[in-house]
Amino acid sequence: MIQPLAVRALVCATRPKLVMLIVYRQKKRATMTDSNQANAAAPAPMPPPPPYAPAAGEKSFVATWLLSLLVGGLGIDRFYLGKVGTGILKLITLGGLGIWSLIDLILTLTGSQRDNAGNALAGYAENKKIAWIVTGVVLLISLVINIVNYGNIS
């Protein structure tokens, strides 16, 4: 902080060594800010941005989708992805009474399902359309079969 002129003159007359120290520190601060500004003028090069799509892992989308569709209530899809803890829990609860199995199937079909390491499933982009179609057909067939069986019971 710079002092007013009258105070500076008084300090100059009474303590010349203090004045020299203040001037030295002000010069040092000025050179330090100049060097900081020089360093700030040349920023370090930025690393290249990561690719938009996450890297696909080793686990197959088709295998995960089929396991989730056919035996998802037993948690086998979770075991396949390396998620043993939730696989055991899904097995004990029989797929969360079907709700957890349905959620996992939807997660797999939308491409949100990840393996234990957090990697996306390999082959999702190539097989997502056929997976949605086959899943819809399987669910429609099971619905028709259940309606027909319900009509036979009554």
Average pLDDT per block of 10 residues along the chain, 154 residues long: 49 53 58 54 68 69 94 93 93 92 94 91 93 95 92 72
The whole-model pTM stands at: 0.60
Who's near 59: CB < 8 A, 6+ residues apart? Answer: 80, 81, 82, 115, 119, 121, 122
Give me the pLDDT at residue 7, please.
47
Please list the alpha-helical segments (H only) found in the chain. 5-14, 16-41, 61-71, 76-80, 84-92, 94-97, 99-110, 124-153
